[in-house]
């Protein structure tokens, strides 16, 4: 088996569960050295142990990406331990669901913006000097809601649109530097993010958010494989599902049709 990331240092935020934990294991299997960041220390240690069993050097870096000082510390501790940084994967995120007019706790918008958007901006800002030295890679895990509006996802979609605007602009600025930017737009992935998503009153959905429909939801292992392939090839972006790819084209031709499709998809799920 070709180890596409042999010897490369990967800093992965949101690594304690879901897509992040799966990415950690897949990077480890392909020879990467890993810095794993998240708030849940116990689960980080579990993921790190799984990565070490696959032969990787895995550093546990507890941190909260909603705080700039914590983002700076995550990067500093990674470079202090490994001496370099080759890949930053901005994966940490939190979701929300509910009609805008039903939201009673508007701090949801601030919470999501700080975690999903500003966390990726702050980690990128502190990592960029090191990535320039290694001619490394920036990776941002967005969502199909970063490409089009989705009902019941006003707060979440806003953060993912912000990520797309930031990283697409940064990609142009970095042209010629050797640093590449890969935007990832997953569809519905079977992940614990649904349980942690915030309801209109600001509390996590818990088991109410654990929705899975056969044939409509991607497993995290397949999602991880697609992401690693895009990172390995330094792809500009990755839209994972046929529905997402068609929707991207349709939005240019018939945006009203895309609105109706998005509304129908959400209404059949919740």
The kind and range of the H/E element at 184 are strand 180-185
- Cβ count within 10 A of residue 183: 24
CA–centroid distance for 196 within its chain:
15
- What contacts 39, CB < 8 A, 6 or more positions away? 16, 62, 63, 64
What one-character-per-residue DSSP string does 66-86 give?
A: TSHHHHHHHHHHHHHHHS---
Report the C-alpha gap between 15 and 129 in whole angstroms: 23
From 184, 183, 209, select the one nearest 195 (Cα to Cα). Answer: 209
Annotation marks residue 156 as catalytic: yes
Catalytic-role residue among 117, 156, 185, 210: 156
Catalytic residue positions? 156
């Amino acid at each position: 088996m070709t180890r596409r990331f042999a010897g490369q240092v990967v800093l992965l935020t949101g690594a304690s569960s879901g897509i992040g934990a799966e990415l950690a294991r897949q990077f480890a299997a392909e020879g990467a050295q890993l810095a794993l960041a998240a708030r849940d220390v116990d689960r980080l240690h579990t993921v790190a142990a799984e990565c070490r069993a696959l032969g990787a050097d895995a550093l546990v870096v507890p941190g909260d990406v909603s705080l700039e000082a914590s983002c700076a510390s995550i990067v500093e501790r990674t470079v202090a331990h490994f001496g370099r940084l080759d890949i930053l994967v901005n994966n940490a995120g939190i979701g929300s669901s509910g009609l805008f007019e039903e939201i009673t706790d508007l701090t949801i918008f601030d919470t999501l913006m700080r975690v999903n958007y500003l966390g990726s901006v702050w980690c990128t800002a502190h990592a960029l000097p090191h990535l320039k030295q290694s001619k490394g890679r920036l990776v941002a895990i967005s969502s199909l809601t970063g490409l089009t509006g989705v009902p019941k996802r006003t707060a979440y979609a806003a953060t993912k649109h912000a990520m797309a605007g930031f990283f697409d602009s940064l990609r142009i600025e970095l042209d010629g530097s050797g640093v590449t930017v890969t935007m990832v737009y997953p569809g519905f992935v079977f992940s614990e993010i649904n349980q942690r998503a915030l309801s209109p009153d600001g509390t996590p959905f818990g088991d109410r958010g654990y929705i899975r429909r056969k044939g409509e939801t991607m497993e995290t292992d397949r999602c991880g494989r697609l992401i690693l392939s895009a990172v390995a090839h330094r792809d500009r972006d990755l839209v994972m599902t046929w529905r997402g790819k068609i929707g991207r084209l349709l939005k240019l031709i018939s945006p009203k049709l895309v609105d109706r499709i998005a509304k129908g998809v959400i209404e059949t799920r919740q």
